[in-house]
Amino acid sequence: MRVDVLTLFPAMFDGPLNTSILKRAQADGHLDAQVHDIRAYTTDKHHTCDDTPFGGGAGMVMKIAPLAAAIEAISATDERPPHVIYLTPDGTTLTQAIAQELRTQPRLMLICGHYEGIDERVRTRYVHQELSIGDYVLTGGELAALVVIDAVTRLLDGVISADSLAEESHSDSLLEYPHYTRPAVWQEMDIPAVLRSGDHGAIARWRRLQRLERTFQRRPDLLAHAQLDKHDRAFLRSLGWHDPLWTERPPRKHTPKPLPEPSSARHDTAE
Ligand SMILES: C[S@@+](CC[C@H](N)C(=O)[O-])C[C@H]1O[C@@H](n2cnc3c(N)ncnc32)[C@H](O)[C@@H]1O
């Protein structure tokens, strides 16, 4: 996948793109990340990229011309048209499902805003998708762009093992189970005995229950989208989860037994 980043602060990408998984993904040819300085697309001697807002008010706005020139020139450097994303706090909140969709794109272009943001007409003309990384305001889109790059790159084929991705938090609307590694006992804190039992079936069941319990405790909203079988549902109900598919069986209607015949009507043979 090719990712073009448009930013006023290219140096912010130096460390993250040259470390750990993102560095290896590039070295192995899975990710081609190219960071572009928007100032290189200005035409005035001061390389001006911002101006005061029409209508007045605080702050500066990123100008159309350098951004439009950058988007068009950089788009044309590859025959694959980019899927253009603007990082913005008023965009759709990034989720694992969105990251999964983005991993299928051959090319992304990430636009990082600064100041009060970018001229709205850039959004209207060029942007296909607007993403926020959460309900808070950053000084610029660079950290948000790095979050998108990281979340998407680790999902690209060959970047990390498929096993590691299988039961991750948010992969299937359940959070992940807890992890432990050596030593088994640390400051009198032991690990759950089942993890040392060697019984793979028991370990898998324990992990499943841990995932269910964690999700119920921390993010019960996710359970509405999870694939749950009848055992999962029963376990969650035992924790106090309100199962939308569960209707208590109504108490059986009491049908009184017919009364025994009065003794006078009995045919008495005892005499
Ligand atoms: C100071 S913010 C501008 C905030 C804007 N005036 C508003 O109120 O929506 C500057 C830039 O940071 C980026 N940014 C800030 N918060 C973000 C978030 N939560 N997610 C993604 N990008 C964000 C955007 O690119 C934005 O243009």
The architecture of the domain spanning 2-160 is 3-Layer(aba) Sandwich (3.40)
Digit-coded pLDDT (tens) for 71-108: 999 999 999 999 999 999 999 999 999 999 999 999 99
pLDDT band at 266 (very low <50, low <70, confident <90, very high): low
Is 187 a residue whose pLDDT tops 60? yes
Q: What is the pLDDT of residues 131-175, one digit of tens each?
A: 999 999 999 999 999 999 999 999 999 999 988 888 888 889 999
The answer, yes or no, to whether any atom of ligand 1 lies below 6 A from the CB of 191, is no
Q: Which one, of 128, 134, 159, lies nearest residue 147 by Cα? A: 134
Spacing, Cα 106 to ligand 1 middle (Å): 26
Q: Where are the domains of the chain?
A: 2-160, 167-246
**In this structure, how many other beta carbons lie within 10 angstroms of the beta carbon of residue 152?**
23
Q: Is the CB–ligand 1 distance for residue 150 below 6 Å? A: no
Measure 59 CA to ligand 1 centroid, in angstroms: 13
Q: SS3 sequence, 174-242? A: CCCCCCCCCCCEECCEECCHHHHCCCHHHHHHHHHHHHHHHHHHHCHHHHHHCCCCHHHHHHHHHHCCC
138 Cα to the center of ligand 1, angstroms: 5
Binding site membership of 33 for ligand 1 (Cβ less than 6 Å): no
Q: What is the pLDDT of residue 164?
A: 84
Q: Is the pLDDT of residue 38 over 80?
A: yes
pLDDT of residue 270: 44
Does residue 267 surpass a pLDDT of 70? no
Q: Using 50, 70 and 90 to split pLDDT, how confident is the model at 251?
A: low
Query: For residue 86, which atom of ligand 1 is closest to its CA?
Result: 25
pLDDT band at 269 (very low <50, low <70, confident <90, very high): very low
Residue 268 has pLDDT above 60, yes or no: no
For the record, the structure tokens of 236 come out as 């969650």
| CB 134 near ligand 1, within 6 Å | yes
Q: Is the pLDDT of residue 261 over 70?
A: yes
Query: pLDDT digit string (tens) for 230-250?
Result: 999 999 999 999 999 988 776
pLDDT at 62 over 70: yes
> Domain 167-246, what fold?
Trp Operon Repressor; Chain A (1.10.1270)
Regarding pTM above 0.75, the answer is: yes
CB-count burial class (<10 Å; 0-12, 13-18, 19+) for 131:
buried
Query: Quick one: average pLDDT of 5-33?
Result: 98
What pLDDT sits at residue 2? Answer: 98
Q: How far is CA 42 from CA 38, 82, 177, 183, 264, in A?
A: 7, 22, 51, 58, 113
pLDDT given at position 171: 86
Residue 65 pLDDT exceeds 80: yes
CA distance 88 to 75: 21
135 lines ligand 1 (CB under 6 A): no
